[in-house]
Amino acid sequence: MNKIYWAGDSTVQTNDYTTYPQNGIGQVFPFFLKEGYTVENHAKNGRSTKSFMDEGRLAVIEERIGEGDFLFIQFGHNDEKINDPTRYTEPFGSFQDNLKTYIRVARDHKAYPVLITPLERRCYVEEHKLGPGEHGDYVKGMKQVAEACNVPLVDLNAMSRDALEEAGETASRKWHMYFEAGEYPQHPEESHDNTHLRYEGAVKYSSLIARGLKEIGGIYGEMVLDGIV
């Protein structure tokens, strides 16, 4: 049984009824996997590459991961928090250094690291057009690490931007925690959350990652069910 260990933030984490209807990408990703693969999702709300390590979360993965497993590394949203020294990392400095640490952890245990660029936010400037977003330098920084370390990369940022622009501002609301007052008992007030995901969004973006793995091919494409579009 091959395990996929996932290190990431709230866009990836597994949720329970206390945060309903929020879902994370790692929570639904098993839908796209063949038999013989399971997900162990260590992603947590609000974490950056730095705080995830500082809290010992990477150390837990290091204790558990083994030969033939995979480590999916998906960060960026909280590394950008320049006013929070417990989370902030420099996109072409400490962010890259931290990513290399995650890669080393996987390779030291003969596991396979995969870098995944951060999911784009709903940063619309027109119905079918996004603004530049906030992830640009972190996407570039991650791509540089992928190239330097010869690690496969799924560019979720680019794919999610394409999906958001194709869907449009109105239709894409159902993918995110964007809803009217009283729509959910746990949320009596309206929400215009353009970052966190509902079930529909988690499934949509998980499918993009699955497609990206298929495109990489080899052992990465083999884990994913056929017919992903």
Q: Is the pLDDT of residue 182 over 90?
A: no
Structure confidence by residue, pLDDT tens digits, 45-100: 999 999 999 999 999 999 999 999 999 999 999 999 999 999 999 999 999 999 99
Predicted confidence (pLDDT) at residue 201 exceeds the cutoff of 90 = yes
**Token representation of residue 22:** 């929020």
- Residue 183 scores a pLDDT above 90: no
Query: Which range among 66-75, 118-127, 133-142, 220-229 shows the weakest confidence by mean pLDDT?
Result: 220-229
Does residue 185 register a pLDDT over 90? Answer: no
- Assess whether 183 carries a catalytic annotation: yes
What's the CATH number for 2-222?
3.40.50.1110
pTM (two decimals)? 0.96
Instruction: Look over the chain and give the mean of its residue pLDDT values, rounded to a whole number.
Output: 96
**Cβ-count burial of 133 within 10 angstroms (0-12 exposed, 13-18 middle, 19+ buried)?**
middle
Task: Judge whether 187 counts as a catalytic residue.
Answer: no
**pLDDT band, residue 14 (cuts 50/70/90):** very high
- CB of 172 closer than 8 Å to CB of 161: no
pLDDT at 229 over 80: no
Residue 109, pLDDT above cutoff 90: yes
Q: What is the DSSP code (8-state) at residue 183?
A: S
Give pLDDT tens digits for 24-60.
999 999 999 999 999 999 999 999 999 999 999 999 9
Catalytic member of 62, 120, 196, 207: 196
Annotated catalytic residue, options 126, 147, 166, 183:
183
- Token duo for residue 197: 């995901």
Among candidate residues 10, 48, 206, 207, the one labeled active-site is 10
Has 42 been annotated as catalytic? no
Domain ranges of the chain: 2-222
State how far the alpha carbon of 223 is from the alpha carbons of 34, 103, 112, 119, in Å: 6, 20, 13, 22
